[in-house]
Amino acid sequence: MRGALWALFRREVAVARRLGGGGLTGVSFMLALVIVVPFAVGPDLNLLRRIGPAMLWIAALLATLLGLDRLFQADLEDGSLDALRLGGVPLELVVVVKCAAHWCTTGLPLLLVTPVFGLLFALDGAALAGVAASLAVGTPALTLVGAIGAALTAGFRRGGLLLAVLTVPLAIPVLIFGVAAAGAASPGAIVPFLMPFLVLCGLSLLALAGAPFAAAAALRLMGE
């Protein structure tokens, strides 16, 4: 089983790179957003420092949604989803592996470039570290929650908009505590960093425990 899961992971990474450039698309989208915001709000550095963590998190959320609509739809179109359903590997583990591959090709590049993009918001070292740490533990939850929406919309053509409508409300708690943790790392913050950071870790663990089962159930219902 381990060999089959590893083969599936490598296949998903290769497909993501071939179809959409992998993390390059998400990074380009995030860069476009963080460049536009300073022009929109003006050159006030204090304002940019306050909204910087929130804007980076919003950009990460929207960039994570890119490509999620193809997470299961491509397998449904070419018939490989039926093979995955009937194979010896539990469908829940298949969902986990596909989410891990999506995070490695989309979430990880976003995490690596976030400190650079944070400089556009005049964030200092402590704030950049807080944003990076919160994204490191929070973006897996965004991918897992998005997998539920991807499974529910896999049978729809052009289901990207519907996927966003289903996923964004479920991702709001992650976004709230992610922004809170990122903002708490800034100097002079009232709320301690550890409290929202631990809640964010708990949300990611909760998503890991529940999202694969919900997505697998949706995929099984689609096949009936």
The mean pLDDT values, 10 residues at a time, for the chain of 224 residues are 78 73 75 84 81 90 83 75 75 90 89 88 85 93 92 74 85 92 76 88 95 89 67
pLDDT at 121: 86
Tell me if the pTM is above 0.85: yes
pLDDT at 160: 67
If one counts the domains in the chain, the total is 1
Contacts of 40 (CB under 8 A, 6+ apart): none
Q: Which domain holds residue 204?
A: 2-223
Contacts of 93 (CB under 8 A, 6+ apart): 1, 5, 212
The residue among 52, 25, 57 whose CA lies nearest residue 37 is 52
Six-digit token string for 10: 């490598």
pLDDT at 209: 94
Six-digit token string for 84: 């995955």
Contact by Cβ (8 Å): 178, 133? no
Q: Is 188 helix (H, G, I), strand (E, B) or coil?
A: coil
The residue among 145, 142, 144, 121 whose CA lies nearest residue 131 is 121
Distances 100 to 13, 55, 81 between C-alpha atoms, Å: 9, 24, 17
Contacts of 59 (CB under 8 A, 6+ apart): 29, 30, 33, 34, 117
pLDDT at 21: 52
Alpha helices (runs of H) in the chain, residue ranges in sequence order: 2-20, 23-41, 45-65, 70-78, 80-86, 91-102, 108-118, 125-152, 160-184, 194-223
